[in-house]
Structure 1
Amino acid sequence: MPASSVTVRMYDVGFGDAFLITVTQDDQAWRMLVDCGVHSQGKARPLLDVVRAIVSDLTEAAAPGTPPTLDVVVATHHHADHITGFAYDDWDKVHVGEVWVSFVEDDSDDDAKTLKNGLARAAKSLNTLIGRAPAALNDETRTLALGLAHTLALNSLGNEDAMDRLLGRNNKHFLNVPKIRYLPDKFARPNVIRTSLPEVNVHVLGPSRDPDQLKRMNPPTSARWLAMQQALDAEPASESAGDQTPAKPIFDEIYTVTPDEVSHDIGIELVSTLATLNLPTLVDDTSELLAAASILERSVNNTSIFFVLDVDGTRLVFVGDSQQGAWDHILQDPAARALVSEPAFYKIGHHGSHNATPRDYVTNAIGNHGTYAMLPYGKVEQWGDIPNETLLTALTGLNTHIVRADTPVADARVHVGPGNLWSEITFPAI
């Protein structure tokens, strides 16, 4: 059996993810790119620079006369900070074997359509409502809260140009037409994916397809902030003499929904409650808007592809932005829990957020044997509690080596690229 090694290169995009994984066996190599995106308010550098660096690295690795090649591209979920980089046309020159996306993106899957449409409607409705909250504009605290709510909701809409390339739609494409996998499959066997290299397999563990879990990810149509949207859309336009100039919308038209759409989505039972709503109070309820945006953010995060790459027994855990609910699905299953326990590598979920790496995992599963953990992070002013210092301290206390994208430190195993553009870890064959 040829000896294998695996290298994980984390590109410093800022508040976003871009990981290039290379597995080598003698003169053979298998490459996977996991995500490529950045949050609009947390860029470390122009994202196009990172995309071109990735393509350049792939070109350098390719055999003479052959195009830059990726065996697999994984888009863990459709948040902008994970996929926006795929909108750039530089990917036209890259040959891709397979594209893996969450089953939520499968338009032929009834469960997926219901969940995806619910998330998209919720994001659009929430953005519209935030844009109609003028009462908050004279209060700095409320303005900041509304801004953060808008940022979360907008991120939840994802990026259609990027998703078009990943799925080969609307004249967006890679050099070739890759195979598309919607993961996890409904059946267990296809969720253990064998690569072109012996003893190198990928175990896809999430997101959950359990109906009860799906219900938890789909924003309920009875949510109070959706009722607020319904009520606002039903209000008659002002006819006062002083209202000669229509108010300019705060957000683009694509983020608005019509009253008919909202009525259809919410249901007639809320229409009857319209007269009881205190609109000035509801519109000014910025805490509820922020809470709604956070719920929506978590819902999309929990559609992340969660997988373990097993290279001859060396296990690397990639969780996307999976949060508590998605983790419960993994940790409560004995076989899945065993796969994520005592890994050689852990991609710290959701940029080190407090609710993305469960206490149970840190305390009882990750182990105390020198795991390397990478933290894709760039500062976003509104999120001063990310990364969560309690989490990082707990990991460090268990002898976990944390490699931060924003402040990488080289050591015997960690290499750092010029200008801190990337940092990488290589795990030799066992």
Structure 2
Amino acid sequence: MMGSKTIEIRMYNVGFGDAFRITVRDDTDVWRMLVDCGKHAHSSEAPPIADSVRAVIADLTEDCGGTPHLDVLAATHRHQDHISGFACDEWADVSVDTVWLPFVEDLDDPDATALRTKQDRAVNQLEAFISTRLALAVGRSGESRRLKEAQAFLVNSRGNAAAADRLLGCNGSGFAGPHEVRFFPKPDTRDDVVEVGRCGIVAHVLGPSRDPAMLTRMDPPSSAGWLRLNLDDDTTPPVNNGRPLFASQYTVARESVPAELLAAQQSLKLSSVSDDMGLLAAASVLERSVNNTSLFFVLDVDGFRMLFPGDAQHGAWEHVRSDPDADALINSVDFYKVGHHGSHNATPKDFVLGDWLNKGDAMVPWGMVKRWQDTIPKRELLTALKDTHHAVVLPTPVDPAVDDVPPRGKLERSERWAQLTFTV
């Protein structure tokens, strides 16, 4: 019967990180899903992630009538700002039926193991070089700032072993009882359409790509991104004793460095600028590679569609949009979880400016990180969403200029969360 089913999308204010609870209520049947729970280590102005975890579980306990339970828990990718909360012991009291993970976390998948090994090796090598450079840069604030920026990327790219153990049910960790783990996408794409069998719910898992070449795509060309840079085209890779320092997908061309920095380096003849910028660029490439392993899915409830792309960046979006059926699906969504906290290099411009056909609502999971306060969320992205009649909801109101499009859903706020409720 029309109007008897509601969908609640609750975005927790964890800081610079993601935690979303989706609740579908169909008369007496209630289905609950959590998408991610984590916070970046440099999100210092937000409460500790353990406090947020306790808030999530307390809300879940109350909603479930005393015994916290999730039908599905989706961890989109291994970055700290998406899964660090699952290291908290409180999850041992929550029952979870099924955990969804990207295929790259499958310990029995040889392709996934090879990719994780390359990523972990790159993290370790970069960490060692950055530590050495930091020791040499004492008293030189400019160099230290760039190196600490690179270090922040690496902290986020760490494998988060304790959280991963819980999600995988490994090494004595887990939830209140045994849980099923499902890895996506499957080699047979027909298995990526998940008929839940309750409340009219169907999930369409569209990414990540299983093609290693697609996973390592870097930033989009300047015409596709929110940030334009003048680039040169020197593609010579760094070499260490005749052997490449990093696996090929983490080799960074000078074209990743802004032209103005290269010009400054040449005029001042400071070789350390290119060294430090190279480390920063390599750390950034590594972060993008992990972002592009994000689960990318559409949740459909009787035709009401919600897009959760994790932190997918250009290569991952390109993979989805190259498939006509998948492209049509994402262009018709009613709700969009804005990727990568509203940064310049996640949401494609043409998706917002022309392809997203429904005048749906968007939520931006964001918290202040001082070193990114002028760039994340990208103001041009928020304005473009507003100008195309999409309501933008942040954990806390930031700017009336992007808050003046009323959401289609009923908006409620508390100190800990913002929630949109839709009736279908």
Which range, TM-score by smaller chain? 0.7 to 0.9
Contact preservation (8 Å) 1:132, 1:283: no
1:347 aligns with 2:337: yes
Q: Deviations over 1:29-66 (max 9, x none)?
A: 111000000001114112111111111111112246xx
Q: TM-score, normalised by structure 1?
A: 0.82
Match of 1:374 among 353, 363, 367: 363
- 2:76 corresponds to: 76
Per the TM alignment, residue 135 of structure 1 is displaced from its structure 2 partner at its CA by 3.5
Q: Which runs of 5+ in 2 are unaligned?
A: 219-234, 249-269
Contact preservation (8 Å) 2:10, 2:417: yes
Distance in 1 (CA, whole Å) between partners of 2:59 and 2:199 is: 25
Per the TM alignment, residue 174 of structure 1 is displaced from its structure 2 partner at its CA by 0.2
Report the secondary structure of 2:84's partner residue.
Answer: helix
Contact preservation (8 Å) 1:115, 1:214: no
- 1:62 corresponds to: 64
1:170 aligns with 2:168: no
- 2:48 corresponds to: 46
Contact preservation (8 Å) 2:9, 2:22: yes
Runs of 4 or more consecutive aligned structure 1 residues displaced over 6 Å after TM superposition: 262-267, 408-412
Distance in 1 (CA, whole Å) between partners of 2:236 and 2:301 is: 45
1:298 aligns with 2:265: no
Per the TM alignment, residue 350 of structure 1 is displaced from its structure 2 partner at its CA by 0.1
Distance in 2 (CA, whole Å) between partners of 1:415 and 1:305 is: 27
Per the TM alignment, residue 224 of structure 1 is displaced from its structure 2 partner at its CA by 4.3
Distance in 2 (CA, whole Å) between partners of 1:382 and 1:263 is: 31
Per the TM alignment, residue 282 of structure 1 is displaced from its structure 2 partner at its CA by 6.5
- 1:204 corresponds to: 205
- 2:101 corresponds to: 101
Distance in 2 (CA, whole Å) between partners of 1:29 and 1:16 is: 26
Distance in 2 (CA, whole Å) between partners of 1:406 and 1:5 is: 24
Per the TM alignment, residue 163 of structure 1 is displaced from its structure 2 partner at its CA by 0.6
Report the secondary structure of 2:336's partner residue.
Answer: strand
CA 1:130–1:58 in 2, change beyond 3 Å: closer, same or farther? Answer: same
Report the secondary structure of 1:155's partner residue.
Answer: helix
Report the secondary structure of 1:382's partner residue.
Answer: helix
Per the TM alignment, residue 342 of structure 1 is displaced from its structure 2 partner at its CA by 3.1
Contact preservation (8 Å) 1:6, 1:22: yes
**Mapping 1:240-389, distance limit 5 Å:** 281=271, 285-367=275-357, 369-383=358-372, 384-389=374-379
Contact preservation (8 Å) 1:322, 1:356: yes
- 2:410 corresponds to: 413
Report the secondary structure of 2:127's partner residue.
Answer: helix
Report the secondary structure of 2:371's partner residue.
Answer: coil
Contact preservation (8 Å) 2:122, 2:247: no
Q: Which runs of 5+ in 1 are unaligned?
A: 232-261, 268-279
CA 1:266–1:42 in 2, change beyond 3 Å: closer, same or farther? Answer: closer
Equivalent AA in structure 2 for residue 143 of structure 1: S
Contact preservation (8 Å) 1:145, 1:290: yes
CA 1:283–1:390 in 2, change beyond 3 Å: closer, same or farther? Answer: closer
Q: Deviations over 1:367-399 (max 9, x none)?
A: 3x4311001101111112111011111100011
Equivalent AA in structure 2 for residue 209 of structure 1: R
1:183 aligns with 2:191: no
Report the secondary structure of 2:119's partner residue.
Answer: helix
Contact preservation (8 Å) 1:342, 1:371: no
Equivalent AA in structure 1 for residue 420 of structure 2: I
Q: Give the aligned length.
A: 376
- 1:113 corresponds to: 113
Per the TM alignment, residue 158 of structure 1 is displaced from its structure 2 partner at its CA by 3.2
Larger of the two Rg values belongs to structure: 1
- 1:277 corresponds to: none
Q: TM-score, normalised by structure 2?
A: 0.83
Per the TM alignment, residue 141 of structure 1 is displaced from its structure 2 partner at its CA by 1.3
Q: Deviations over 1:91-122 (max 9, x none)?
A: 01100000011100011111111111111111
Say what the alpha-carbon RMSD is for the aligned residues: 2.4
